[in-house]
Amino acid sequence: QVQLVESGGGVVQPGGSLRLSCAASGFTFSSYGMHWVRQAPGKGLEWVAFIRYDGSNKYYADSVKGRFTISRDNSKNTLYLQMNSLRAEDTAVYYCAKDLTAVAGTDYWGQGTLVTVSS
């Protein structure tokens, strides 16, 4: 069965950095695009970033562009999100999610990892 397990969350000071990982299993990871989506406490869902199956194209929300970098290692079945210059408003649960198809949404999600940006 498909499993996505995020890790790497924690408490970080404003201006700091953090790298999230998402370990994938149960499907051919190298054949699917992957997303990061976040949810601030008590708020709605915010799409963050997407990477194509082969890493050839990446897309970002304006709110994170230039600060966050999405990447993947298909040999390790792992998705990453490098987050730099973190702000208080980046505090959220971060989910990785598997693309169903390029235009159909995401069919599997991890359990999420909490990132708290606070001094």
Partner 1 sequence: DIQMTQSPSSVSASVGDRVTITCRASQGISSWLAWYQQKPGKAPKLLIYAASSLQSGVPSRFSGSGSGTDFTLTISSLQPEDFATYYCQQANSFPHTFGQGTKLEIK
Residue (28 or 111) nearer to partner 1, CB: 111
Among 12, 22, 29, 60, binds partner 1 (CB under 8 A): 60
- Residues 81 to 100 in contact with partner 1, rule: CB under 8 A: 95, 100
33 lines the binding site for partner 1 (CB under 8 A): no
Residue (70 or 117) nearer to partner 1, CB: 70
Please give the full DSSP string across 5-72, using - where no structure is assigned: EEE--EEE-TT--EEEEEEEESS-GGGS-EEEEEE-TTS-EEEEEEE-TTSS-EEE-TTTTTTEEEEE
Residue (88 or 100) nearer to partner 1, CB: 100
